[in-house]
Amino acid sequence: MLLSEVVTSGPDFFYLAPWLVFFPVIGLLINIIFGGRFSEKVIGTVASTASGLTFVVAVLLALSLRAHHEGVTILLAEWIAIGELQLDWAFRVDTLSVTMMMVVGGVGTLIHIYAIGYMHEDVRFKNDPGRFRRFFVFLNLFIAAMMILVSGDNYLMLFVGWEGVGLCSFLLIGFWYEMDTLARASTDNAMAAKKAFITNRVGDFGFLIAGMIMFWAFKSVQFDTVFEAAHHIAELQPGIIIAITLFMLLGVAGKSAQIPLFVWLPDAMAGPTPVSALIHAATMVTAGVYLVARSAPLYMLVPQAQGIVAIVGGATALFAATIAVGQYDIKKVLAYSTISQLGFMVAAVGMGAFVAGMFHLVTHAFFKALLFLSAGSVILGVERGHHHGHHDHDDHGHGDHHDDEKSEVFDPGDMRNMGGMRKSMPVTFWLYIIGSLALAGIFPFAGFWSKDEILAEATALNFTVYILLAIAAFFTAFYMGRQIWMVFYGKPKHEAAEHAEESPPIITVPLMVLAALSILGGALNLPGVGTFTHWLEMTYEKFDLHLHHGEFNLTVAITSTVLALLAIGISWLIYGRKSVTFDQADPLKRILGPIFVGMENKWWIDELYWAVILNPYIAIAKFTADVIDWRFWHDWFHDKVIAGTFNWFSKTFLDSWIDQRGIDGFANGLAAGTKELAQRLSGIQTGFVRNYALSVFVGVVVILGYLILQ
Amino acid sequence: MLPVSYYVGLSAILFTIGALGVLIRRNAIIIFMSIELMLNAANLAFVAFARAHESLSGQIFVFFVITVAAAEVAVGLALIVAIFRNKQSIDVDQMSNLKG
């Protein structure tokens, strides 16, 4: 099938596509089998190399696509053939999937390298070599699963990757399963992992239903087959397409942390920081956005479903942004920020602005990975400062130890412990500033271009969503400003922050690369040039999709820039001049009052879910377990009915009749009969030789008589 | 020449005397002698028939019987001596230890 396509000129590396999955699998196998003898550096290098090679493959595929605009499908093996279902394990290489591959491979590799430095210093690490190896095995497994997700040629293969990344997410959130974020023995991390997994089950259930409806209606789950038949089905039964897209939205809401299933993502910060950056900010959570963008030919047929997707995205963007304002944990702020930015992307792809959504996905991967990793660097810096402070005390003997009790619960991630760190960690500070400006959407950073493309599209496509997103963008700039002032400016609020030390190059160098991408990422799709638009259109033009061409809207750009600068200014007024400590309430609380309490408490969504879903569910589960299962089935049905009947039957019939009288009677009777017979026969044995001789004699006479008389 | 029935009649009388001796007498030696009597009755019948049929196989059989009788006597007398040493008696009715 490839031959006709190979004829055209240009480099052709499409045959490398399966290596996107093979390389990380090889990497993880090497680390599993030989990792026990490797040092930390070697383990990290093997994993990073495996990940880096996938990036090289992705780049080669991208180069090859220049000669094959429409994309290529690489068949690896026949997978499933049952009746009407014919599925191949095939890799789909087109501009959309290659974009994702490059993001996953590129950002993934940088995070692998960062993790070599980070994991060693993690306070929870305690030099357990098995843990270090396990971490990189999981990371490589994640890369492999994510590559399957983005390169699949059908929905089932996509689903395999979808579940694979979900598994890796679970494994890595619960990586320190025996302790909480502060290394105290606890089940918190394990609970967070379970929460993420179970919440995602709800979404995956929706995805599965969508897939089943699709197979029922189309007799196929292969992308091209489905998309080609979609027009026809949409004319006959538009309800089917609406059902598929909306059930798919449930899957998107689970994986990409949208309302109502976003609650797992903030808890997922229990995982190590590189995991938060790789899985829960840059790549896995964008799988939902990719799914909608991939299913564009379906969504474009049903504007009603598109509207719902856009509203869900817009509402999530605003809702999560408000929560981010009230958080104190440096990673929690970024987590809610991620949910909010994912809302931007989902809203964009929901409206039909697939290019804008994917563009924001790419730039967000750069600056959010940068922010998370920098936050990890900050946390490590504070940790170092904390240790440093302890050593100082030890040197001075029995000095004032009054913060030793407090040090038991010292949280290096709490922003109220930080402050003034721009002096102690200058490199990290500048990196953080770049990431924040990109996220806030300040010209000319990457976030400015992608976010404004979404906003500009929204003004034309769905004005309600524009309003939601614009307000969300305002909050985005505000909470990032708040974070910068709390962490890097003012006076250190804890001696740990005062003694914080800068991170080594293995941590800061990958961050610099990400920072460069965050600055320059906007060049991918500059207004008027539109490289990225043309790039993605190669995929979409095949399906005759009339994509809306977003044009640069100066009014929108100026409005959002002014809003962002205003938000940063306000945040300086509130937080820039005054430190927030544990002793006093957040200054914003005095201004907003109960509204801030709501933000601080995440609008009590977790509590709401507990009250509405979890507690009733647990009550039902308890009822079914205690009453139905135990008391009814076990105590009554099993013990009384089944066991009772059997006991009665066996006692009355089997025991006395069959066993005692039948089997025992036969055996005992045989023995008694033999004994009786023997006793009688023994009388013949007189012991007198002459008796025996007489018997022989009589016997001979009888036999001879018989023979003679015969 | 005497007809063969005479010899056979004598042989039958001798055999009957021997058989009765075995069944009736209690002395082991007497029983033994009775057995010899029965064997020799059989020998007499063999020789008589051999002569009547002018065949040597009957006479050869008699040699075998005499040999077996000799061997039997050797074993039997040894047994009787052993029993006597044990029980100071050769009354066969006393030897009923294997009574059931």
In degrees rounded to 5, what are phi and psi of residue A209?
A: -60, -45
Quick: pLDDT tens for A284-314.
999 999 999 999 999 988 999 999 999 999 9
Q: How far apart are CA A472 and CA B81, in angstroms?
A: 130
CA angle A15/A17/A20 to nearest 5° reads 145
Q: pLDDT-based confidence at A395, cuts 50/70/90? A: very low
> Cα torsion at A174, A608, A472, A459 (round to 10°)?
110
Determine the pLDDT at residue A391: 59
Alpha-carbon distance A687 to nearest alpha carbon in chain B (angstroms): 4
Q: What mean pLDDT comes out for the span A527-546?
A: 80
Is the ipTM beyond the 0.85 threshold? Answer: no
CB contact under 8 A, A690 and B26: yes
Determine the pLDDT at residue A84: 77
Q: pLDDT-based confidence at A10, cuts 50/70/90? A: low
Helices within A489-586 (DSSP H only): 495-498, 505-520, 531-540, 554-571
Determine the pLDDT at residue A123: 66
CA angle A112/A114/A116 to nearest 5° reads 75
Range of weakest confidence among A254-258, A366-370, A416-420, B21-25: A416-420
Alpha-carbon distance B94 to nearest alpha carbon in chain A (angstroms): 8
In the structure encoding, which two tokens stand for residue A574, read together?
Answer: 């509130």
Residues of chain B in contact with residue A690, where contact means CB-CB under 8 angstroms, are 22-24, 26, 92-93
For the four alpha carbons of A692, A695, A701 and A704, in that order, the dihedral sign comes to negative
Residue A124's SS3 state is: coil
Quick: pLDDT tens for A214-261.
999 988 899 988 998 888 888 888 899 999 999 999 999 999 999 889
Helix (H) or strand (E) holding A90: strand A85-93
Residues of chain A in contact with residue B92, where contact means CB-CB under 8 angstroms, are 688-690
If one compares A326 and A407, the residue with the highest pLDDT of the two is A326
Q: pLDDT-based confidence at A591, cuts 50/70/90? A: confident
Q: How far apart are CA A210 and CA A195, in angstroms?
A: 23
Q: What mean pLDDT comes out for the span A575-588?
A: 77
Q: How far apart are CA A470 and CA A457, in angstroms?
A: 12
Alpha-carbon distance B51 to nearest alpha carbon in chain A (angstroms): 24
pTM of the complete model: 0.77
Query: Is B31's pLDDT higher than 60?
Result: yes
A273-310 core/surface letters (b: 16 or more CB in 10 A; e: else) = bbbbbbbbbbbbbbbbbbbbbbbbbbbbbbeebbbbbb
Interface contact A658, partner B, CB < 8 A: no
Q: How far apart are CA A132 and CA A116, in angstroms?
A: 9
CB A412 within 8 A of CB A382: yes
Interface contact A690, partner B, CB < 8 A: yes
Per the rule left: phi > 0, alpha: psi between -120 and 50, beta: everything else, A164 is alpha
Q: pLDDT-based confidence at A407, cuts 50/70/90? A: very low
Determine the pLDDT at residue A317: 94
Instruction: Look up tokens 């992308």; give the residue.
Output: A223
A349-368 core/surface letters (b: 16 or more CB in 10 A; e: else) = bbbbbbbbbbbbbbbbbbbb
Range of weakest confidence among A493-502, A549-558, A697-706, B51-60: A549-558
CB contact under 8 A, A687 and B23: no
Determine the pLDDT at residue A403: 44
Alpha-carbon distance A700 to nearest alpha carbon in chain B (angstroms): 12
Q: pLDDT-based confidence at A319, cuts 50/70/90? A: very high
Mean pLDDT of chain A: 87
* CB nearest to B97's CB, from A684, A687, A690: A687
Report chain A's C-alpha Rg in angstroms: 36
Query: Is A458's pLDDT higher than 80?
Result: yes
Q: Please give the DSSP secondary-structure letter assigned to residue A284.
A: G
* CB nearest to B99's CB, from A686, A690, A697: A686
Alpha-carbon distance B27 to nearest alpha carbon in chain A (angstroms): 11
Q: pLDDT-based confidence at A528, cuts 50/70/90? A: confident
Q: How far apart are CA A11 and CA A1, in angstroms?
A: 18
Write the burial class of residue A524 (CB in 10 Å: 0-12 exposed, 13-18 middle, 19+ buried). Answer: buried
* Most B-contacting residue of A675, A680, A684, A688 (CB-CB within 10 A), to test interface: A688
If one compares A6 and A656, the residue with the highest pLDDT of the two is A656
Per the rule left: phi > 0, alpha: psi between -120 and 50, beta: everything else, A325 is alpha
CB proximity list for A436: less than 8 A, separation 6 or greater = A371, A480, A481, A483, A484
What pairs with residue A152 in β-bridges?
Answer: A91
Interface contact A694, partner B, CB < 8 A: yes
Residues of chain A in contact with residue B95, where contact means CB-CB under 8 angstroms, are 687, 689
CB A567 within 8 A of CB A288: no
- The share of chain A scoring above pLDDT 70, in percent, equals 94
In the structure encoding, which two tokens stand for residue A589, read together?
Answer: 């609380």
Quick: pLDDT tens for A469-511.
999 999 999 999 999 998 998 888 888 888 888 888 988 999 9
Query: Is A549's pLDDT higher than 80?
Result: no
Determine the pLDDT at residue A547: 67
**CA distances, A473 to each of A288, A291, A462, A469, A550 (Å):** 21, 24, 16, 6, 19
Query: How do A85-93 and A72-82 pair as beta strands?
Result: antiparallel
Interface contacts (A, B; CB < 8 Å) = 32
